[in-house]
Structure 1
Amino acid sequence: MNARAVFLDRDGVINASIVREGKPYPPNSLNDFTYLPGAVEGIKRLRQAGYLIIVVTNQPDVATGLQKKATVELMHAQLYKDKLCDDIKVCYHIDKDLCDCRKPKPGMLLQAAFEWGIELTTSFMVGDRWRDVEAGNAAGCSSYFIDYQYQEREPTGPFKRVRSLEEASQCILNEN
């Protein structure tokens, strides 16, 4: 266990979320799946520095019938095609399913750490919602919060506030 990783939430971190009434939602289709400014460059710099890039994403709209699993998988195929990640962990559950993988629980990060030999205490989590930060903290990672000032609660526990994945990647690289 000596690999280092940067765990990334997907929507609002790598690609643009659709914000309605102050709340973020995933893109509806591959046509709506657009990378945020600086995200690709930030990921490439992290990968060049030797970090594994693991996407950890809650996609509850599949469970509720608002999104097709095939559409989510097309978006993930695009991330792999563009070489923007080493692995993608997805939770398709809703809160009441009480699974171990849905953020803020650290299940997806712990699974990836086991599979890839990742040392969590030298790894990072970057997200735009309280669930992301709290999952990173629960797994033992240092967490970055991209604060879009959504109409929801802020994360608890330690985190660094940033404006983008690009800024988070610079901070991570400056720490080493």
Structure 2
Amino acid sequence: MSRPAVFLDRDGVLNEAPLVAGRPHPPATPDAIALLPGVAEACSELRAAGLPLIVVTNQPDIARGTQSRAAVDAINARLRELVDVDEVVVCPHDDDDACACRKPRPGMLLDAARRWDVGLGRSVMVGDRWRDIEAGRAAGTKTVFLDRSYDEPAPDAADLTVTELKESVTWIIETIAPRT
């Protein structure tokens, strides 16, 4: 039987995302990675409940040529030093590439679910942008929206809306964690 998992966006969910014109942007270097308050504790609680943690992140600056894949990989390696996650999945494409992996499409979640034997209907996607929530819905997961009051449309109909990852932990565990 497949297991539940928690899919997490990276920038604005796990680490601080600098705002430019009211929208979040990724850190530029590994040294710029700073976990948001309560993230390490929240991830530890989710892992203690038996839930795999899989980061799914759009990084279109690779396609735009303003960031290298090696730099993104180094940022992800630094993130993994700070918080215990099972995998970081990256979409390096931009919207014009029309790939299956760039959120709001569910490709990253679908591929990771196959690798990790995850039941998507028993899982949760946590994100801070409409693209994250739409990807989760398209994959068949429950969704948690971290409302950061960005200058962009909020998603429709997330299953839970909070302002910090820590606020969602009890709901996630009660909703999807394996019962022993």
TM bucket normalised to smaller: over 0.9
The match for 1:103 is 103
Distance 1:62 1:158 in 2: 29
CA positional deviation for 1:83 = 5.1
The match for 1:131 is 131
Distance 1:25 1:68 in 2: 15
Deviation by residue 1:101-145 (Cα, 9 ceiling, x = unmatched)? 000000000001111110111100000000000000111100000
Letter in 1 for 2:74: L
Letter in 2 for 1:24: P
Q: Which moved more, 1:133-142 or 1:149-158?
A: 149-158
Letter in 1 for 2:9: D
How many residues are treated as equivalent by the alignment? 176
The match for 2:58 is 58
Letter in 2 for 1:154: A
Matched residue of 1:11: which SS? coil
Q: Which moved more, 1:84-93 or 1:5-14?
A: 84-93
> Is the contact between residue 33 and residue 78 of structure 2 (CA under 8 Å) also seen in structure 1?
no
Deviation by residue 1:23-76 (Cα, 9 ceiling, x = unmatched)? 110011111111000001100100110000000000001111121221211121
- Sequence identity (%): 47
After superposition, residues 18-167 of structure 1 pair within 5 angstroms as 18-82=18-82, 84-167=84-167
Matched residue of 1:143: which SS? strand
Matched residue of 2:13: which SS? coil
Distance 2:83 2:148 in 1: 26
Distance 1:52 1:8 in 2: 11
TM-score scaled by length of structure 2: 0.93
CA positional deviation for 1:167 = 1.0
Matched residue of 1:173: which SS? helix
CA positional deviation for 1:88 = 1.3
CA positional deviation for 1:81 = 3.2
Gaps of 5+ in 2: none
Gaps of 5+ in 1: none
> Is the contact between residue 42 and residue 170 of structure 1 (CA under 8 Å) also seen in structure 2?
no
Deviation by residue 1:73-92 (Cα, 9 ceiling, x = unmatched)? 11211233345211111100
Distance 1:159 1:131 in 2: 15
Over the residues paired in the alignment, what is the CA RMSD in angstroms? 1.3
Distance 1:100 1:68 in 2: 21
